[in-house]
């Protein structure tokens, strides 16, 4: 995981309907923009009252204030949960009113009312479970994709509230129940689930996230996910669960739609600078890149045929199976974060760890994953599937990142603005040098 050492922040402070001005700038630890805890700590310390970060209000997307969601100077909307003593409300200027006022596609947890409702739901759920909250919850993270709060409970334990947008995220409680029906120890314990509002309350999972997984971590996680996926494919429950369709033919259709959309948007609003890599904004394809991407898309059905011939079944896929979503205390290993889950090809999960581990560990992950699939589906060719799926893997993420952009408000777009185009470029690059490109060339020559 890329480290982000720090950032500077300013905050627009409100309480109820009152506005108390722009505070800061403050230096805070933890550079990731979504990391709310350091901001809460600093502002609460300054004011002497508890606060919550509602949302990112401003982060320039031109690279001058950080990159990739971390570092630089950013501005938040912060709500004081109690009226700050000694502070005088200020007149709201039109610019501030526009910045803090209602916005299309704003997440529910990024509003005062929505956040209070989510926290109240969590407290009621804990009460119903016989584990009432002890003290105020601690805000850990908030951004366009999710909000995360930690609750201390009266029994000395902890619980976690996660909020997501149900319009473009999986019902995590359902996914956890499906996987847990095969391997209960593989998933966290659900204390409460409200899929209509995108709320999930989880029991604490001890240990650490496995950003640098050991060989033991790989063995403790990878074959167990494969076993659960194989079982859910075999008995038909994955197909019947109503998950988002990310099967390969559907994915190809989404890719074509995305490319046509990008082409139309770029034609309607030509970018500045020369039509080449230099001077081209990172969120726009050059004419040559767009033509190459369309040519690749036209060849994807042939690649899908080759992948299908590898013999792996469509099943429940985690959707973001990197080792930061594996958690282990050295005895028990658990997979977390199922917001991106769907029904699709398991090689999309199999390839995901490669971006997060070194070559030696990746070789182990790939080997363990492939052996597990051969054990569950004799005669299959999982190694070949991993080689072939790479361009579709990147294109699947391009589609997913575009879904993010389509469902988040304008101020949150800097998190993902250039991601769809970046993933399309990665797909083009891997075709030019990888097994998928060789297969496509061979099929083209044969036709």
Query: Cα–Cα distance between 402 and 417 in angstroms, integer?
Result: 9
Pairing relation of β-strands 315-317 and 342-344?
Answer: antiparallel
Model confidence over 343-357: pLDDT tens digits?
Answer: 999 999 999 999 999
Q: How confident is the model at residue 282 (pLDDT cuts 50, 70, 90)?
A: low
Q: How confident is the model at residue 370 (pLDDT cuts 50, 70, 90)?
A: very high
Q: Which two tokens stand for residue 93?
A: 């200027």
Q: What percent of the chain has pLDDT over 70?
A: 91
Model confidence over 123-141: pLDDT tens digits?
Answer: 999 999 999 999 999 999 9
Contacts of 63 (CB under 8 A, 6+ apart): none
Query: Cα–Cα distance between 42 and 48 in angstroms, integer?
Result: 10
pLDDT attached to residue 2: 44
Phi and psi torsions of 125, nearest 5°: -65, -40
The full set of domains in the chain, from first to last, is 6-101 (3.90.79.10), 112-204 (3.30.200.20), 209-446 (3.90.1200)
Q: What percent of the chain has pLDDT over 90?
A: 83
Task: Specify burial of residue 100 (Cβ count, 10 A radius: 0-12, 13-18, 19+).
Answer: middle
What average pLDDT score do residues 6-20 get? Answer: 93
Tell me if residue 90 falls in helix, strand or coil. Answer: coil
pLDDT attached to residue 442: 67
**Least confident residue range of 17-31, 239-253, 362-376, 394-408:** 17-31
Pairing relation of β-strands 138-142 and 146-152?
Answer: antiparallel
- pLDDT surpassing 70 at residue 445: no
Name the residue with tokens 């889950």. 341
């Amino acid at each position: 995981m890329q480290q982000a050492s720090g950032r500077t922040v300013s905050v627009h402070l409100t309480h109820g309907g009152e506005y108390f001005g722009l505070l800061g700038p403050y230096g805070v630890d933890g550079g990731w923009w979504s990391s709310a805890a350091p901001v809460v700590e600093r502002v609460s310390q300054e004011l002497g009252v508890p606060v919550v970060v509602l949302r990112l209000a401003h982060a320039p997307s031109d690279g001058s204030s950080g990159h990739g969601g971390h570092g630089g100077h950013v501005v938040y909307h912060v709500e004081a949960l109690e009226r700050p003593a000694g502070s005088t409300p200020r007149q709201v200027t039109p610019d501030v009113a526009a910045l803090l006022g209602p916005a299309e596609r704003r997440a529910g947890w990024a509003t005062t009312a929505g956040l209070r409702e989510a926290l109240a739901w969590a407290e009621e759920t804990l009460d119903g479970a016989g584990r009432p909250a002890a003290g105020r919850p601690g805000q850990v993270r908030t951004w366009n994709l999710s909000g995360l709060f930690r609750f201390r409970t009266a029994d000395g334990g902890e619980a976690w509230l996660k909020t997501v947008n149900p319009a473009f995220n999986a019902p995590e409680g359902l996914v956890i129940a499906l996987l847990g029906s095969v391997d209960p120890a593989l998933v966290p314990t659900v204390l409460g689930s409200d899929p209509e509002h995108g709320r999930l309350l989880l029991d604490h999972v001890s240990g650490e996230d496995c950003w640098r997984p050991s060989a033991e971590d790989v063995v403790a996680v990878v074959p167990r996910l494969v076993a659960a996926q194989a079982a859910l494919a075999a008995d038909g429950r994955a197909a019947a669960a109503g998950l988002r369709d990310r099967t390969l033919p559907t994915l190809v259709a989404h890719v074509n739609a995305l490319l046509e959309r990008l082409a139309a948007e770029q034609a309607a609003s030509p970018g500045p600078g020369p039509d080449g890599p230099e001077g081209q904004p990172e969120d726009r394809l050059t004419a040559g890149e767009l033509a190459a991407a369309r040519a690749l898309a036209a060849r994807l059905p042939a690649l899908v045929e080759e992948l299908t011939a590898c013999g792996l079944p469509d099943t429940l896929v985690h959707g973001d199976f990197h080792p930061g979503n594996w958690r282990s205390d050295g005895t028990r290993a658990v997979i977390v974060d199922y917001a991106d889950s769907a029904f699709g090809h398991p090689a999309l999960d199999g390839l995901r760890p490669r971006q997060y581990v070194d070559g030696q560990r990746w070789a182990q992950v790939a080997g363990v994953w492939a052996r597990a699939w051969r054990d569950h589906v004799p005669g299959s060719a999982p190694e070949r599937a991993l080689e072939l799926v790479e361009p579709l893997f990147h294109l699947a993420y391009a589609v997913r990142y575009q879904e993010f952009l389509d469902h988040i408000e304008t101020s949150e777009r800097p998190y993902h603005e250039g991601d769809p185009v970046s993933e399309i470029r990665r797909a083009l690059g891997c075709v030019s040098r990888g097994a998928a490109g060789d297969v496509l060339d061979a099929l083209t020559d044969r036709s």
